[in-house]
Structure 1
Amino acid sequence: MLDQALKTIGLVWVLYSAYRLYDALALWILPAVPLTRYQKKGPFESWALVTGASAGIGLGCAQELALRGFNLVLCGHDVDELEDARALIESECRQRRLGGDVAVRLVVLDPVAGSARQLQAAVDGLADLDVTVLVNDAGGVPAQQQQQRRRRLREMSAEDVDAAIDLNVRFMARLTRLMAPALARNGPSLVLNVGSTTAATAWGSAPGAAAVYPAAEAFVASFSRALAREMTADGAA
């Protein structure tokens, strides 16, 4: 009986290891899905909502989506930076002469200080748009913690912990939940959650990062896998 139990445990371990290997290599093995899959009609008819869109990865994603024929909703906490991002994207699209004019809307929201009611109102304001792509890029170490040295959890205040969770977990999960009905209705749709390798290493290298940040990034990874299964089962992906 013990021998059979050990065999079963060994089989489960092998299957789990094989799954983890497949999951790690799937990005490079599976064929790419063209973004035209998420354009219901034609260029500049479907919309993409990008958070953290005023700079960095979020801005880069927004630029590429615009150059591929998506209208944009740029979401960030600083209206001046969002205006600069809009001007840059509109200029790039004009220079490329893409055969259409990109439409860009701005949504000013602070993932840390904003309320659930403000987020709901922002999403309600997008009801007239065919949003088929959601890029959740807002995240990282909260601004007020970035100038601090890397700290241990015991050195963080309750407010520090809440801010890290709000920025990296709560805002993303709440926004995705609110956008889910529209994404399902407009499907096939794409949700892209931008994470960090700290989800696997459990080591936050950025100033101010402590145990909370890698844990939050692990949430992003797990949330993304579970959401992918839900959207596939619902026929929304």
Structure 2
Amino acid sequence: MTSDSAVRRIVVTGAAAGIGRAIATKAAAEGAKVMVNDLDADAVHALAHEIGAIAAPGDAASPEGADGLVAIANEWLGGVDVWFGNAGIDRGRGLAASEDDWTDSWEVNVMAHVRAARALVPQWVAQGGGRYVVTASAAGMLTMLGAPAYSTTKHGVIGFAEWLSASYRHKGVVVQAICPQGVRTRIYEESGDLKEVLSHDAVLEPSDIADAAWAALGNEDFYILPHERVGDYYLARATAPDRWLTGMNRIQQSLEKR
């Protein structure tokens, strides 16, 4: 699968705003047949009208919702070549994050991808290939201070994506993880004191992430890193974990002094 005219049938979840909206807009502009999904039915219908896509509002995280969305895509697009699993939530802060915060984060940030893959991968294997692209965040490679449920579940989806790639790449299934740092989205705008941390290596626009994601359809690299420094941080974390954690703790202490 390349980023040329061979890319035809694309589904984007969490498409009502932010990165998902930007990816859907980019894909449609490049000539793809696009289906957009989000819980916000009004916003997703408006986007579909604007970019010439098919609207499929609903819950892409539940078992029924995931199966239903794949079925709708098969019916209206004739199949799926690329699935952008972009829907994600950030719930709860610190140890005060509630049981519901953790449960909701797990369902949306991890199980939505498991459920979509269950429906997609068998048909991709049968047709000779397909591509699953998850918006995982740099929090999944590193961590995000103050947001334990978000950080843990983003680590979790990268773990699932790695497993999916290791298990099915020889059968034509390409798996990629978009891992940006600061992006001008609702999560960034509501991050409070963490804005300074997230903007350390520049705050990108959702359109920048969409451009990087579209370009990555021309290769099979697992990580898509719009902020290149994230790769350096990941290497530092892996080779010197205690030094890394000490540095992160210093940042945590500085936040607590504000």
Question: Is structure 2 residue 33 aligned with structure 1 residue 105?
Answer: no
Answer yes or no: is 1:152 the counterpart of 2:99.
Answer: no
Contact kept, 8 Å, 2:12 with 2:20, in 1: the verdict is yes
Say which SS state the counterpart of residue 201 (structure 1) adopts.
coil
User: Is 1:139–2:88 an aligned residue pair?
Assistant: yes
Aligned to 1:218: 155
Deviations 1:18-70 (A, max 9, x none): xxxxxxxxxxxxxxx7313843xxxxxx3101111111111111111112221
2:58 is aligned with 1:58: no
For 2:22 and 2:111, locate their aligned partners in 1 and report how far apart those are by CA, in whole Å.
23
TM-aligned CA deviation for residue 83 of structure 1: 1.3
Give the 3-state SS of the residue equivalent to 2:56 in structure 1. Answer: strand
Task: Give the CA deviation at 1:216.
Answer: 0.7
Extract structure 1 runs of 4+ deviating beyond 4 A.
none
Identity of aligned residues (%): 22
Match in the other structure for 1:191? 132
The residue number in structure 1 matching 2:38 is: 76
Question: For 1:189 and 1:119, how far apart are their aligned partners in 2?
Answer: 17
CA contact under 8 A between 2:13 and 2:36: conserved in structure 1?
yes
C-alpha distance in 2 between matches for 1:36 and 1:188? 16
Cα root mean square deviation, aligned: 2.2
Partner letter of residue 94 of structure 2? R
Tell whether the 8 Å contact from 1:53 to 1:74 is kept in structure 2 after alignment.
yes
Residue ranges of structure 2 left out of the alignment (5+ in a row)? 175-258
Partner of 2:49: 87
Task: Name the residue aligned to 2:4.
Answer: 36
Would the alpha carbon gap of residues 234 and 37 (structure 1) be closer, same or farther in structure 2, given more than 3 Å must change?
Answer: farther
Q: In the TM superposition, what is the alpha-carbon distance from 1:212 to its structure 2 partner?
A: 1.7
* Unmatched tracts of structure 1, length 5 or more: 1-32, 40-45, 91-103, 146-150
* CA apart distance, 1:187: 4.0
Deviation, structure 1 residue 116: 1.7
CA, structure 1 residues 107+72, in 2 after alignment: closer, same or farther (shift >3 Å)?
Answer: same
The corresponding residue for 2:166 is 229
Instruction: Check 1:82–1:140 CA distance in 2 against 1; reply closer, same or farther (3 A cut).
Output: same
- Alignment partners' CA distance in 2, 1:125 and 1:66: 18
Displacement of 1:184 in angstroms is 2.8
TM-score normalised over the length of structure 1 = 0.65
CA–CA separation in structure 2 for the residues paired with 1:64 and 1:47: 13
Say whether 1:163 aligns with 2:104. Answer: yes
- State the distance in 2 between where 1:178 and 1:63 align: 25
TM-score, normalising length: structure 2: 0.60
SS class of match (2:173): coil
Aligned length: 172
Post-superposition shift, 1:175? 1.3
SS at match of 1:220: helix
Contact 1:38 1:189 in 2 (8 A): no
- Determine the structure 2 residue equivalent to 1:43: none
